[in-house]
């Protein structure tokens, strides 16, 4: 792999998005939130009224849609930046993200996005270190206590967070796992800046 890629994995509320955005901003690197892509597809599934068990229809939708994640999350030109963090999407996203054909379509887009960037990138999501970029320059797995993760996720109650944790870990395709060789950071009692500093310190020894 010729370019520098930092891939950040971990469960909901571990700090992936905040840390990845902060790291990318500090280094001036491009940033991709892969989870937002699955959430955007889920928002469109809900808008169009597709059943969550209609995997073929959802796969066709995912393959055909146009998604952007910066500066705001959009799908087919529709701004869903706020919608993707709402209760309806929270409840449905694990089911949509577990569809194998949806994951194939999104992973292809994520890799194509990285290939199109002129420089180094930071990518975060639940399978970025194990599936999307298993040869990343630096693989990071963030974790935190369940209590702390639930406190941070003020858009999702603890019960829903626990169910999504289980669904993400149990799905047959691209389940949430710690990648071999990943830098594991427990963010429970750490500031965002402290986590970024630790990643940067490890990155300096990896490049």
pLDDT-based confidence at 161, cuts 50/70/90?
Answer: confident
Percentage of residues in the chain with pLDDT exceeding 90? 78
Rounded average pLDDT over 174-196:
93
Number of domains the chain contains: 1
Q: What is the pLDDT of residue 205?
A: 85
Tell me the DSSP string of 45-87.
HHHHT--TT-HHHHHHHHHH--EE-SSS-EETTEE-TTGGGSH
Specify the pLDDT at position 185: 97
Q: Is the pLDDT of residue 1 over 60?
A: no
Whether residue 175 is predicted with pLDDT greater than 50 in this model: the reply is yes
Per residue in 6-65, pLDDT (tens digit) is 999 999 899 999 999 999 999 999 999 999 999 999 999 999 999 999 999 999 999 999
- What pLDDT score was predicted for residue 115? 94
- Give me the CATH number covering residue 101: 3.40.50.300
d(CA 57, CA 41): 12
Task: Tell me which DSSP letter residue 175 carries.
Answer: -
Q: Measured in whole angstroms, how far is the alpha carbon of residue 16 from the centre of its chain?
A: 8
Answer positive or negative: Cα dihedral of 157, 162, 165, 171: negative
Domain extent for 69: 5-206
For residue 172, pLDDT over 90 is answered with no
pLDDT tens by residue, 132-144: 999 999 999 999 9
Segment 83-92 mean pLDDT: 93
List the structure tokens of 22. 């902060």
């Amino acid at each position: 792999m010729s370019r520098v890629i930092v891939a950040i994995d971990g469960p909901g509320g571990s700090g992936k998005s905040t840390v990845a955005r902060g790291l990318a901003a500090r280094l001036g690197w491009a940033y991709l939130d892969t989870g937002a892509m699955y959430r955007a597809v889920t928002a469109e599934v809900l808008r169009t009224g597709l059943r969550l068990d209609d995997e073929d229809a959802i796969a066709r939708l995912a393959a055909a849609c146009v998604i952007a994640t910066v500066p705001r999350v959009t799908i087919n030109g529709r701004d869903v930046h706020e919608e993707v963090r709402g209760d309806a999407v929270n409840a449905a996203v694990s089911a949509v993200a577990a569809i194998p054909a949806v994951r194939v379509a999104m992973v292809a887009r994520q890799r194509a996005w990285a290939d199109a960037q002129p420089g180094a990138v930071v990518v975060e999501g639940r399978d970025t270190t194990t599936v999307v970029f298993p040869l990343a320059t630096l693989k990071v797995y963030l974790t935190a206590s369940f209590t702390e993760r639930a406190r941070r996720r003020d858009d999702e109650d603890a019960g829903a967070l626990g169910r999504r944790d289980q669904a993400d870990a149990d799905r047959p395709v691209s389940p949430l796992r710690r990648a071999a060789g990943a830098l594991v950071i427990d963010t429970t009692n750490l500031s965002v800046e402290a986590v970024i500093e630790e990643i940067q310190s490890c990155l300096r020894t990896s490049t």
